[in-house]
Structure 1
Amino acid sequence: MPGVRPLAVRLTRRGRAVVRTALTGVSHPIPAPPSEGSGAASDAAPPALTTSCDLAWVERDYATSAAFAREVLALHPADAEATARLHRAVTAPAEYRSPTDPRHPVLAHVAFFVTGQGNFGDIALPLAVRAAFERSAGPLEWSPVHAHHVVDDEVVERINATSGLVVGGGGLILPDTAPNGSSGWQWNATVEALRRITVPIALHAVGFNLFRGQRIDHPRFRDHIVALAERSEVLGFRNTGSVERVRDLLPERLRDRVRLSPCPTTVLCRLVDLPAAPPAEVPRVLLNMAFDRAERRFGSGYPAFLDQMADAAGQMRRRGWEVAYAAHLPVDERFVHDLERAHGLHLEVERLYAGSVDDAYRTYRGAAAVVGMRGHATMIPFGLGVPVVSLVSHDKMWFFLDDIGHRDWGLEVGDPDLAARLLELVADRVAHADRYRADTALAQDGLLREVDARAGELLAAVRPAR
C-alpha cells in the first residue's frame, strides 16, 4: 500500500524483537535496531541490524534486507558477512524465477541455495540433485525455494502449481545454521504449511547433520518430522547413520518409510559431463579443512592437529609431491595462514568457492589424492573418481565410509599418530592409483542404484506435466 513501510521498518522496537523471536526460534528477544533518527553508532547496533537483515530476508523482503546490510556496512565497511548478506539480498529476486518451458515437467526444489562466495559443497549439491532426477526423467524444469525462507501462502501456492516437490539434499537436519520457529531444522515450513502442500514430496539425500555433542531441543522438531514422514512419498536420507537417527524419532508404523538416498555428489561422474583433468608432472595432493563450529570439530586439540598436519605436509613435499589446499569457504583458509605462521609452510590455495563448478571439478580431477575434512571435500572428489582420505571431525564421515565399506579410508582428527598414518594412506594412493580408482568405481555402483531408485519413486508419483 502507498505510504506503508516494510514490516521490518515499521514495527516498534518491541514488535521487531517479538517477531524475530517467533521466526528465528531464538530463546530470548534480540535488541531491536535503533529507531530512525536516533543514530546507529553504538557497539550494539551491528548485531541488531544483522538480525533485522536476516528477518527481512527469510520473509523475502529483499529491499529491506539490503537496506539493513548497507547500514551495517556504513558502520563497518570491511564487514565480510554484511557484504555477503547484501549480495544475497540483491541477487535473490533474479535467482527465483518461474519455469519457462511448458514441454517439461516442473518440480519445486527446496534446498540451501547459496550466492556469492558460499560453501562450494552447497553450490554443487543442488546441481547434482537435479542431474540425478534428469538422468531418469530427461529434461525437467525446476522452481527453486530456499529452505530458509518462510513457507507462506504464496510459496505453498507456487509449490502446488508444480508436479512435485524435492527437498534436499544436504545436511538440513541441523538446528543452528538458520534457526526458525517453524520446524526446528533448516526447512522453514510449519506443520500446517506442510499439510497444505498437495503435490508429491520427496526428501532426497538429506543429512541428519548434528555435530558431536549437539542436539535439537526445539519443541516442534519431532512433530514436524512425523508429519513429514506421513506426508512424503519418499523419505530419503544420505547415509545409514542418518536413516537410523530419523527412524528413532518416528512411531513404529512410519519407520520403514525412511530409506537410504545417497548424496548424488558421490556419483558425479555418472551424472554429468566432466571437464578433462589437467596434466600433472608430479603427484598433486589436495588438503581441505573445515572451521565452522571449530570447537566441536577440534575441542582443545587444534594446536596438536596443526602440528601433525604440518609434519605430514612437509613429508609429502620431501617425497616430491605437490601439496596444495582446496578451500570450500573463505573461513577454511585459516588453516593455510596458521600453517605458515606456526611452521613456515606455505600452501597454494585453490579457492573453489570463487570460480565455476567446472573449474572446481577440474581442480579435484587433477589430484592424485584428496585429504578432506568437509563432507563434500570427501564426497565430491570421490564422486569424480579421485582417491580420497577423510579427516573425520563429524560422525557423518564415518557414516559415509561405512556405507561404502571403506572405514579404512578415514582418520580421526585427534589421532595421536595422524601424521604417520595419513602419510601412509596418501602414499598408497599415489603408488596404486588404478586400484583405488577401481575400488571407488565399484563403491559408486552400489550408491548409484540407490540414487536411481529414490529418484524413480518420486517420478512415478508426480503429476503429469501441465
Structure 2
Amino acid sequence: MLHLFHFDLKPRSNYGDAILFELVRLLLDGYDDRERFLVTGSANLRHQVGAGRVRQVNQGYDAVVLGGGGLMLRSTNENQLSGWQWKISIADLEALTVPLVVFAIGYNRFEGEPDFDPVFAEHLNATVAKAAFFGLRNHASIARVRDYLRPELRDRLTFQPCPTTVASYLVPDLHVPDLEPERRVGFQVTFEERNELAGYDGDRVFAGLLDVARELAGRGYALDVISHHPRDRRFHDHLREHGVDARLVPLEGIERDIHDGLAYYARLPLTIGMRGHGQMIPFGMGNGIISVAARDKLRWFADDIGHPELAVDPRGDEWPGRVLDLVDAWFGDFAARRREFASIREGFWQLSLDNLARISAALTGTPGERPFRAFSRYERELALNAFTAARLYDREVETSTRLRDELRAERTRATAAERQLARREAQLARLPFYTAIRRARSGSAHRGE
C-alpha cells in the first residue's frame, strides 16, 4: 500500500472546496479494495512549501497528490513562486524525489482577468514535466493549459472529472436512486466583483433570479437558497426583502459531518447554481442542474456532460425565461433525465477508475484489479476525525505564519526607524549652529563653569 501526502484545502467558509478534497481522499483510499492507496498526511496547498516540507514528504511518503479544485487562478493566493495557488518554488518542486500526482484541477481565470505572470508558464511546464499523472477536470482546461506548455509536454494532460461529479459512487448510502419529483428548487447564487470584468451586472443577475423565484413560487414550488459561502446568503436576504419566501440552507461552516451537504443535494430535485460546485455536487448526487453562467467553468462543465443549453448566460433581458423553460423541461421528463445523467455519471466514474489504474501502474508497476470499496458512514466518521485534526493544525499554522509575518514586519519597521534616526542625528551633528553649541558647551565644561 502506498502512503500518500495530499496538498489540499480544508476551509470552513467554502463548502465546495471542503467536501471536494475529502472526496478526493475517499476515491483514492477506496481504490483496488482499499489495498492500493492511503492518504496519511496533508497540508494546505496555499502555504509555502519549503525545504522542510519537501524533506518530510521525501522521507515519509511514497507519493504526493495535488488537487483537485480550480487551482490555476492568479487572484487567489497571489505569489511569485509559482504564479498560481500551489505555493512552491521550482527549486523545491524539483527537490521532490517521490512521484507527483496532479488530480482533477482546473484552469480557473475569471473572464476579463489579466493573464498569468510569466512565472506561471515556467512553473506549469516544470510541474507537468515532474508529474507522473496530470489530470484536469474539464476539456476546456486541457485546451487552455496546452497553450502554456512546450510541445513535448502537451500530450501529458488527461481528463479527470472532479470527484464531486461521481459523489454517488463514493457515498452510495447517501444516494437516492429513485427520488420522487417533489416540486422544490434550490438556488445557489453568488456574485463577485471579479465577475464584472466580463460585463456581468450583479444587480441585474439578482433581479433576473428574483423574477425566476417569484414565478416558481407562484407555480407552487418550494424554494431553498443554498449557501456554500457566507456571501451566498445575500440572495436569501434579497428574496426576503421582496416578499418571496425561501428556506436558507447553509452548508458552509459544518463542524461535524461535512457529508451532510451531499445528503441534502441527493434529495434536492433541481439546483439553479452559480458556483462550479453548485452544479457538480448535485449532478454527482444524481440530480438536475441549471447554471447561471457568469463563469467560463460553468459552461465548460455543461459542455462536458453534453448539455451546453444548461448554462445560461445572464447578460441581456431574455435569460430568466430560458431558466424557467429549463425548469419545465427537467420536471416534465424527470425520470428519463435523471437516467440520462446517471449514464453520464457512470462514464465519469469508469474514466476515474481507469485513471487510477494508470496512476497505480505508474507508481507500482501494476494497475490494481480489485473492485472499488466505498467507506461506510462509520468509516467516514473515523476519517473525518483526521480531517478535523488536520484542519485545526492548518489553522494553527496560519496563525503562527501571520504572527511571524507581523513580527518580521515590526522588526523591519523598527530597524528602518533606527536607521532613519541615526541618519538624522548625523545630519544634525553636521549643522553649523549645532556644532557651535557643542563647542560652546565643551569649552564651558573645560573651564569648569
Give me the TM-score of the superposition, normalised by structure 2: 0.76
Q: Is the 8 A contact 1:175 1:186 kept in 2?
A: yes
Alignment-derived partner of residue 322 in structure 2 = 421
Cα distance, 1:450–1:420 mapped onto 2, change above 3 Å: same
Which of the residues 262, 272, 292 maps onto 1:391? 292
Q: Does 1:151 align with 2:49?
A: yes
What displacement does 1:298 show? 7.3
Q: Is the 8 A contact 1:282 1:320 kept in 2?
A: no
Task: Give the 5 Å matches for 1:322-401.
Answer: 322-341=222-241, 343-355=242-254, 356-401=257-302
Alignment-derived partner of residue 411 in structure 2 = none
Q: Distance in 2 between matches of 1:126 and 1:220?
A: 26
Q: Is the 8 A contact 1:378 1:388 kept in 2?
A: yes
Cα distance, 1:297–1:128 mapped onto 2, change above 3 Å: farther
Which of the residues 167, 178, 184 maps onto 2:83? 184
SS at match of 1:354: coil
Alignment-derived partner of residue 86 in structure 1 = none
Alignment-derived partner of residue 286 in structure 1 = 186
Give the share of equivalent positions with the same residue, in percent: 30
Q: Which runs of 4+ in 1 moved over 6 A?
A: 278-281
The aligned amino acid for 1:184 is G
| Count of residues in Structure 1 that have an aligned counterpart in Structure 2 | 358
Which of the residues 184, 194, 219 maps onto 1:319? 219
Q: Does 1:113 align with 2:10?
A: yes
What displacement does 1:262 show? 0.9
Cα distance, 1:393–1:274 mapped onto 2, change above 3 Å: farther
Q: Distance in 1 between matches of 2:214 and 2:275?
A: 22
Alignment-derived partner of residue 5 in structure 1 = none
Identify which of structures 1 and 2 has the higher relative contact order when contacts are C-alpha pairs closer than 8 Å and 6+ apart.
2
Most deviating of 364-373 and 350-359: 350-359
Give per-residue Cα distances to partners, 1:126-179, cap 9 Å, x unaligned.
111112223324431331121111111111022212111111000000011111
What displacement does 1:295 show? 4.0
Q: Is the 8 A contact 2:110 2:295 kept in 1?
A: yes
The aligned amino acid for 2:8 is A
The aligned amino acid for 1:308 is G
Q: Is the 8 A contact 2:228 2:252 kept in 1?
A: yes
Cα distance, 1:235–1:146 mapped onto 2, change above 3 Å: same
Q: Is the 8 A contact 2:71 2:108 kept in 1?
A: yes
Q: Is the 8 A contact 1:368 1:429 kept in 2?
A: no
Alignment-derived partner of residue 52 in structure 1 = none
Task: Give the 5 Å matches for 1:157-172.
Answer: 157-160=55-58, 161-172=60-71
Cα distance, 1:236–1:215 mapped onto 2, change above 3 Å: farther
What displacement does 1:378 show? 0.2
The aligned amino acid for 1:313 is A
Give per-residue Cα distances to partners, 1:200-235, cap 9 Å, x unaligned.
111110000001011334231111001111111111
Alignment-derived partner of residue 444 in structure 2 = none
If each structure's helix is expressed as a fraction of its own residues, which one has the higher value?
A: 2
Give per-residue Cα distances to partners, 1:299-352, cap 9 Å, x unaligned.
4622222222111111111111101111101111111222333x2223211001
What displacement does 1:297 show? 7.2
What displacement does 1:371 show? 0.8
Q: Distance in 2 between matches of 1:363 and 1:346?
A: 19
Q: Distance in 2 between matches of 1:183 and 1:125?
A: 23
What displacement does 1:408 show? 1.6
The aligned amino acid for 1:159 is V
SS at match of 2:127: helix
Q: Is the 8 A contact 2:200 2:314 kept in 1?
A: no
Alignment-derived partner of residue 216 in structure 1 = 115
The aligned amino acid for 2:23 is A
Q: Does 1:302 align with 2:202?
A: yes
What displacement does 1:460 show? 2.0
The aligned amino acid for 2:259 is D
Most deviating of 375-384 and 255-264: 255-264
SS at match of 1:223: helix
SS at match of 2:306: coil
CA RMSD for the aligned pairs? 2.1
Which of the residues 407, 410, 426 maps onto 2:308? 407
What displacement does 1:354 show? 3.1
The aligned amino acid for 2:236 is V
Alignment-derived partner of residue 376 in structure 2 = none
Q: Distance in 1 between matches of 2:271 and 2:193?
A: 22
Q: Distance in 1 between matches of 2:200 and 2:268?
A: 31
What displacement does 1:276 show? 6.1
Q: Is the 8 A contact 1:298 1:413 kept in 2?
A: no
Q: Is the 8 A contact 1:164 1:463 kept in 2?
A: no
Cα distance, 1:336–1:351 mapped onto 2, change above 3 Å: same
Task: Give the 5 Å matches for 1:57-206.
Answer: 104-114=1-11, 116=12, 118-139=13-34, 140-160=38-58, 161-206=60-105
What displacement does 1:404 show? 1.3
Alignment-derived partner of residue 106 in structure 2 = 207
Cα distance, 1:370–1:459 mapped onto 2, change above 3 Å: same
Q: Does 1:232 align with 2:131?
A: yes
What displacement does 1:290 show? 1.6
Q: Is the 8 A contact 1:297 1:394 kept in 2?
A: no
SS at match of 2:124: helix
Q: Is the 8 A contact 1:199 1:462 kept in 2?
A: no
Give me the TM-score of the superposition, normalised by structure 1: 0.73
SS at match of 1:233: strand
Q: Distance in 2 between matches of 1:330 and 1:252?
A: 43
Q: Is the 8 A contact 1:200 1:458 kept in 2?
A: no
Q: Does 1:252 align with 2:147?
A: no
Most deviating of 223-232 and 268-277: 268-277
Q: Is the 8 A contact 2:185 2:223 kept in 1?
A: yes
